[in-house]
């Protein structure tokens, strides 16, 4: 008797719980575009990670970099398509001395947020400081021999050698301009509340909670920015961020999960935008594990990845199968690279040609939920080939450390571009000595591609450079040194009242153009 009653009570409780959860799905609608920008208002952007530091020369975290860029600006900046650079704090440059001297003319009337005018001395100081940072981004400025300042409006960069990616490097956030001598402060003190020429200036920060920047009244683009202030908060749970957006507690939800995109697109008062990005996801194959050193094995695995299936079930259709290790948003991406696509027959044929025709056992390390899903799809597809994948589940820090130490067999990794030039990624990915990264931690070593990449670095004629990169991408695809998985967009859900919010393929955003209407 009592037992039955208890069961009944339990059943009621369960129904109540299920009912409450059912209330979780709801609403639809659409938004309209407004016309003229309006001044005023503040927005809050919620992100899944807290900013680490605003020392742009030493920080590698996107959640820090994208904020630092609102304060500190470079001489040239990346264009909206992410393929080239346009004048920013400099108005033009001249290339002389056989491609080894760049002379920049600075924009007139640019002031730092503290009112101090920007001069060539500040530029020299900023970039000399950036390239001295051996723990940071200094390596991208390695081509610079010295910097001179013939007058307050002119800066001259003398290079050690011809260096095709130079303009792209100058546009790097690490080369953003700050007042010379850190405006009289110590380096450390300066970067706890940095000063720059950007649309916003430092307001306050509560570590682990939020960062607030306010409008820079001295901004050189007259009439901008439109917003009075911008606050970035740290909200790690994706559901919480979504609910905060729906409750208008925040105005921008950075990176909602792929599975919520469709629903957010149909939510009233919410604009869900997928911005083209340079993010490329890879399957890492460590050639120190004997079977993976066999090119036919790597090709077989690459053929056996059902990229469309992965895109459908993990990215909910919001992605494109990758066919090169470079993403389409990067200059010199070659669309006919011939990256291997899903084809089980070909996979079988390749494996038959290898030293392991009957397959082998391999361990795959997985961290995030998406990696687990992709891994399980691959496990399913490779099983018929006799390739038996077992999983090693790790937290991201261990996973990452293992990959960098080449202490793995199969693993996952991704890349987003820092500059609008393929050089950084190419050197990293195919040159074992390129930054000491063991060819993206795979130990892939093909002298032919390495040689081609060095030629491309010194080649300043765009058409010739394009041909070199096309060849590099073709060989890399044939060698299948990594499994190129997919290109995915940057996902932002934001209030329909927010206009002019645009994310560049490198991930940065120019908030001076954003306004509330």
Partner 1 sequence: MTLGQYVGRRLLQMIPVVFGVTVLVFFMIHLVPGDPARTVLGIQATPARVALVRHSWGLDKPLYVQYWKFMGRIAHGNLGDSLFYGVSAGHLVLERLPVTLWLIVLSTILAVAISVPLAAIAAVKADRPTDHVIRAVPLVGLGFPPFFLGIVLLLLFGLHFGRPFPVGGYGNGFFGHLRSMFLPALTVALVLTPILIRSLRASLLEVLESEYVTTARSKGLSEKRVLRKHALRNAVISMVSVLGVNIGFLVGGTLVIEQVFALPGIGQLMINSIFQRDFPVVQAVTLVFAIMVVLVYLFTDIAHALLDPRVRFD
Partner 2 sequence: MSAISGTQAELLVHDSVVEHRRGFRHRWYRTPSFVAGLTILGIVVLAALAAPLITQHGPNDQDLLHTLQGSSSSHWLGTDDLGRDVWSRLVYGARADLHIAFLAVVLPFIIGTLVGLLAGYYGGLTDTFASFFVNIVVAFPFYVLVIALVFALGSGSRNIYIAITIVGWVSYTRIIRGEVLVAKRKDYMLAAKSGGLSDFRILFRHLLPNVITQSVIYACSDIVLDILAIVTLGYLGLGVQPPTPDWGNMIASGQTYLTTHWQLATFPGIAVVFTALGLALLADGLADLLRPE
CB of 139 to partner 1, least distance (A): 8
Residue 16 burial by Cβ neighbours in a 10 Å radius (0-12, 13-18, 19+): exposed
CB of 507 to partner 2, least distance (A): 22
Q: Which does 161 bind (CB under 5 to 8 A by kind): partner 2, partner 1, none?
A: none
Count of residues engaged in binding partner 2, rule: CB under 8 A: 47
Q: Which does 312 bind (CB under 5 to 8 A by kind): partner 1, partner 2, none?
A: partner 2
Within residues 249-308, the interface with partner 2 by CB under 8 A covers 257, 259-260, 262-263, 306
Q: Which structure tokens are listed for 305?
A: 């990845």
Rounded to whole angstroms, the Cα distance separating 423 from 80 reads 19
**Cβ neighbours of residue 184 under 8 Å, at least 6 residues apart?**
none
Q: Which does 404 bind (CB under 5 to 8 A by kind): partner 2, partner 1, none?
A: partner 1
Binding site for partner 1 (CB under 8 A): 2, 5-6, 9-10, 12-14, 16-17, 20-21, 23-24, 46, 50, 52-53, 60-61, 134-135, 139, 188, 206-209, 233-237, 239-240, 243-244, 246-247, 249, 395-398, 400-402, 404, 413, 415, 428, 435-437
Site for partner 2 (CB under 8 A): which residue of 375, 422, 434, 505?
375
Q: Which does 53 bind (CB under 5 to 8 A by kind): partner 1, partner 2, none?
A: partner 1
CB of 346 to partner 1, least distance (A): 30
**Residues 148-154: contacts with CB within 8 Å, 24+ apart?**
148/124, 149/119, 149/120, 149/121, 149/123, 149/124, 150/120, 151/120, 152/106, 152/119, 152/120, 152/121, 153/105, 153/106, 153/108, 153/119, 153/120, 154/103, 154/104, 154/105, 154/106, 154/120
Rounded to whole angstroms, the Cα distance separating 201 from 215 reads 6
Q: With respect to partner 1, which residue has the nearer C-beta, 80 or 207?
A: 207
Q: With respect to partner 2, which residue has the nearer C-beta, 209 or 390?
A: 390
Strand partners, 212: 204, 231
Residue 475 burial by Cβ neighbours in a 10 Å radius (0-12, 13-18, 19+): middle
**Cβ neighbours of residue 81 under 8 Å, at least 6 residues apart?**
329, 505
**Under DSSP, is residue 373 helix (H, G, I), strand (E, B) or coil?**
helix
Rounded to whole angstroms, the Cα distance separating 51 from 342 reads 39
Q: Which does 263 bind (CB under 5 to 8 A by kind): partner 1, partner 2, none?
A: partner 2
Q: What is the DSSP letter of 111?
A: B
User: Nearest 5°: CA angle at 154, between 150 and 158?
Assistant: 75
Q: With respect to partner 2, which residue has the nearer C-beta, 345 or 395?
A: 395
What backbone phi and psi angles, to 5 degrees, belong to 21? -70, -35
CA 22 to mean position of chain CA atoms? 36
CB of 458 to partner 1, least distance (A): 22
Distances (CA, A) of 394 to 372, 408, 413: 11, 12, 14
Q: With respect to partner 1, which residue has the nearer C-beta, 152 or 432?
A: 432
Q: Which does 336 bind (CB under 5 to 8 A by kind): partner 2, partner 1, none?
A: none
CB of 470 to partner 2, least distance (A): 33
Site for partner 2 (CB under 8 A): which residue of 74, 179, 367, 500?
367
What backbone phi and psi angles, to 5 degrees, belong to 76? -125, 155
Site for partner 2 (CB under 8 A): which residue of 265, 379, 407, 478?
379
Q: Which structure tokens are listed for 492?
A: 């932002």
Strand pairing class (85-87; 490-495): unpaired
Q: Which does 373 bind (CB under 5 to 8 A by kind): partner 2, partner 1, none?
A: partner 2
Q: Which does 402 bind (CB under 5 to 8 A by kind): partner 2, partner 1, none?
A: partner 1
CB under 8 A: which stretch of 109-117, 222-230, 237-245, 504-512 binds partner 2? Answer: 237-245
376 binds partner 2 (CB under 8 A): yes
**Under DSSP, is residue 305 helix (H, G, I), strand (E, B) or coil?**
coil
Q: With respect to partner 1, which residue has the nearer C-beta, 218 or 229?
A: 229
Q: With respect to partner 2, which residue has the nearer C-beta, 192 or 380?
A: 380
- Residues lying near partner 2 in the complex (CB under 8 A): 1-3, 6-7, 10, 13-14, 17-18, 21-22, 24-25, 238-239, 242-243, 257, 259-260, 262-263, 306, 309, 312-314, 366-369, 372-373, 375-377, 379-380, 390-396, 398
């Amino acid at each position: 008797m009592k037992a039955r009653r208890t069961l009944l009570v339990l059943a009621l409780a369960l129904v109540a719980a299920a009912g409450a959860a059912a209330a979780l799905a709801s609403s639809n609608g659409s938004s309209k575009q407004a016309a003229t920008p309006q001044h005023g208002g503040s927005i809050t952007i919620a992100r899944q990670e807290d900013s680490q530091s605003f020392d742009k020369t030493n920080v590698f975290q996107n959640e820090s970099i994208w904020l630092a860029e609102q304060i500190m600006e470079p001489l040239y900046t990346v264009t909206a398509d992410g393929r080239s650079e346009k004048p920013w704090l400099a108005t033009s440059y001249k290339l002389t001395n056989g491609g080894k001297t760049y002379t920049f003319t600075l924009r007139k009337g640019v002031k730092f947020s503290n009112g101090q005018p920007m001069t060539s001395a500040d530029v020299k100081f900023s970039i000399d400081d950036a390239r001295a940072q051996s723990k940071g981004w200094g390596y991208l400025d390695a081509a610079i021999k010295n910097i001179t300042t013939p007058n307050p409006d002119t800066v001259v960069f003398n290079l050690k050698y011809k260096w095709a990616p130079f303009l792209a490097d100058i546009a790097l956030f690490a080369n953003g301009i700050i007042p010379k001598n850190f405006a009289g402060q110590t380096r450390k003190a300066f970067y706890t509340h940095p000063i720059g020429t950007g649309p916003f200036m430092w307001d306050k920060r509560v570590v682990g909670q939020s960062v607030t920047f306010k409008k820079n009244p001295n901004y050189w683009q007259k009439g901008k920015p439109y917003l009075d202030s911008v606050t970035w908060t740290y909200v790690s749970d994706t559901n919480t961020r979504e609910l905060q957006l729906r409750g208008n507690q925040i105005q921008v939800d950075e990176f909602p999960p792929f599975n919520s995109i469709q629903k957010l697109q149909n939510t009233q008062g919410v604009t869900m935008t997928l911005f083209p990005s340079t993010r490329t996801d890879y399957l890492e194959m460590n050639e120190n594990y004997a079977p993976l050193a066999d090119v036919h094995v790597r090709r077989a695995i690459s053929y056996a990845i059902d990229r469309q299936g992965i895109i459908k079930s993990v990215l909910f259709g919001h992605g494109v199968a990758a066919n090169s290790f470079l993403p389409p948003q990067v200059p010199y991406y070659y669309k006919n690279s011939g990256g291997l696509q899903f084809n089980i027959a070909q996979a079988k044929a390749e494996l038959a040609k290898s030293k392991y025709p009957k397959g082998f056992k391999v361990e795959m390390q997985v961290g995030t939920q998406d990696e687990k899903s992709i891994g399980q799809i691959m496990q399913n597809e490779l099983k018929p080939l006799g390739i038996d994948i077992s999983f090693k589940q790790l937290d991201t820090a261990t996973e990452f450390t293992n990959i960098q130490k080449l202490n793995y067999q199969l693993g996952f990794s991704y890349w987003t571009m820092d500059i609008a030039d393929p050089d950084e990624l190419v050197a990293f990915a195919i040159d074992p000595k390129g930054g000491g990264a063991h060819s993206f931690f795979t130990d892939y070593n093909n002298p032919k591609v390495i040689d081609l990449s060095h030629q491309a670095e010194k080649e300043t004629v765009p058409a010739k450079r394009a041909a070199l990169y096309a060849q590099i991408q073709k060989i890399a695809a044939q060698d299948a040194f990594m499994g190129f998985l997919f290109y995915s967009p940057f996902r932002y859900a934001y209030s329909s009242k927010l206009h002019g919010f645009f994310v560049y393929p490198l991930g940065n955003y120019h908030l001076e153009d954003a306004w509330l209407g």
